[in-house]
């Protein structure tokens, strides 16, 4: 029997926690034992989540695999499918397909410094990169994380990141936080407590705080589309070569496997499908593929 890649596999919700007004953390476990054995994924990859009767949406893994058949997701409620996901209970059944996409080249980056730049929900896929790098700590040099939020209320994975803010250096990574709302009380007190690592402004402001060695640093970016241009500008100023700047892109997706065409970008000389050629691309790719960022 030929495999039907479009047919979702059943999985059940094992955890569902409210993180912010619009984001939820979900842990999902696939039902089929055989599938659980082989179900593995890399940082930067995504799965297609199906809700019966509503539809499908691509969601990134926000962790590395710690248990067979289990995947962590962080979902923002923005539309039909994501809203339905938010209303699921523990034990509810969903369908999943994947993992899809290329993911970050974690091996290629071994032996270098890592600079992770996340804006808003972009921190979800980068969390899996961070987990991977911390688990394989010896393989990387310095690990630095920039996380930009608008307000305290929109901060994801708060406990984890507080911990990194306070104890990150001991755990092996330098964690920086930026916030945009200068009147946000909680953020102000965070800044007072960790003035070295927390400041008011957009995420690119954090570049003031570090010294970057462009020869052996890989930058990894994920955030809202407008963020890319500014972060790339900063990195280019600091001489980080385009092929060492990685970013993960978002486009409309209906299949995840290079068929439905929605995620198409580029021009005659370079057509790319974000789902199968990406979602991780380098800035070099962006320079050679029109309409990428």
Residues found near other proteins in the complex (CB under 8 A): 2-10, 50, 52-56, 78-80, 82-84, 87, 93, 95, 225, 250-252, 254-255, 257-262, 264-271, 276, 290-291
Q: Measured between alpha carbons, how far is 207 from 114 in angstroms, rounded to an integer?
A: 14
User: Which three-class secondary structure string do you get for 228-277?
Assistant: HHHHHHHHHHCCCCHHHEEEECCCCCCCCCCCCCCCEEEECCEEEEHHHH
The interface partner of residue 188, options being ligand FAD, other proteins, ligand FES, none and the CB cut-off 5 to 8 Å by kind, is none
264-293 positions binding ligand FES, by CB under 6 A: 273-275
Q: What are 252's two structure tokens?
A: 């409309």
Q: Measured between alpha carbons, how far is 75 from 22 in angstroms, rounded to an integer?
A: 8
Is residue 5 involved in binding ligand SF4 (CB under 6 A)? no
Is residue 291 involved in binding ligand SF4 (CB under 6 A)? no
Bridging pattern class, strands 143-149 and 174-179:
parallel
Is residue 70 involved in binding ligand FES (CB under 6 A)? no
Match 């842990």 to its residue by tokens: 27
Is residue 257 involved in binding ligand SF4 (CB under 6 A)? no
The only residue of 37, 261, 267, 271 in contact with ligand FES, by rule CB under 6 A: 261
The only residue of 255, 286, 292, 293 in contact with ligand FES, by rule CB under 6 A: 255
The only residue of 264, 266, 284, 288 in contact with ligand SF4, by rule CB under 6 A: 264
Is residue 261 involved in binding ligand SF4 (CB under 6 A)? yes
Burial of residue 220 (CB within 10 Å: 0-12, 13-18, 19+) is buried
Q: Are 145 and 118 in contact (CB under 8 A)?
A: yes
Chain residues that interact with ligand SF4, rule: CB under 6 A: 261, 264
Chain residues that interact with ligand FES, rule: CB under 6 A: 253-256, 258-263, 273-275
């Amino acid at each position: 029997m030929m495999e039907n890649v479009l047919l979702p596999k059943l999985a059940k919700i094992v955890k569902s926690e409210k993180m912010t007004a619009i984001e939820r953390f979900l842990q999902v476990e696939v039902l089929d034992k055989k599938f659980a054995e082989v179900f593995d994924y890399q940082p930067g990859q995504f799965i297609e989540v199906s809700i019966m009767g509503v539809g499908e949406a691509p969601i990134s893994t926000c962790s590395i695999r710690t248990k067979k058949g289990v995947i962590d997701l962080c979902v923002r409620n923005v539309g039909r499918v994501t809203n339905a996901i938010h209303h699921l209970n523990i034990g509810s059944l969903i369908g999943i397909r994947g993992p899809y996409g290329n993911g970050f080249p974690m091996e290629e980056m071994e032996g270098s410094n890592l600079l992770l730049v996340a804006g808003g929900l972009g921190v979800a896929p980068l969390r899996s990169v961070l987990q991977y790098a911390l688990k394989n700590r010896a393989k990387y040099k310095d690990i630095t994380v920039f996380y930009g939020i608008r307000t305290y209320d929109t901060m994801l994975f708060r406990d984890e990141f507080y911990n990194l803010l306070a104890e990150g250096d001991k755990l092996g990574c330098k964690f920086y936080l930026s916030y945009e709302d200068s009147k946000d009380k909680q953020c102000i007190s965070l800044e007072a407590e960790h003035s070295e690592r927390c400041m008011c402004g957009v995420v690119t402001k954090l570049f003031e705080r570090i010294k970057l060695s462009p020869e052996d640093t890989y930058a990894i970016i994920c955030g809202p589309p407008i963020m890319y241009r500014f972060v790339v500008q900063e990195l280019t100023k600091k001489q980080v070569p385009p092929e060492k700047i990685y970013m993960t892109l978002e486009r409309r997706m209906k299949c995840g496997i290079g068929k439905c065409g929605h995620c198409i970008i580029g021009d005659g000389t370079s057509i790319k499908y974000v789902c199968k050629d990406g979602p991780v691309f380098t800035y070099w790719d962006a320079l050679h593929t029109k309409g990428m960022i």
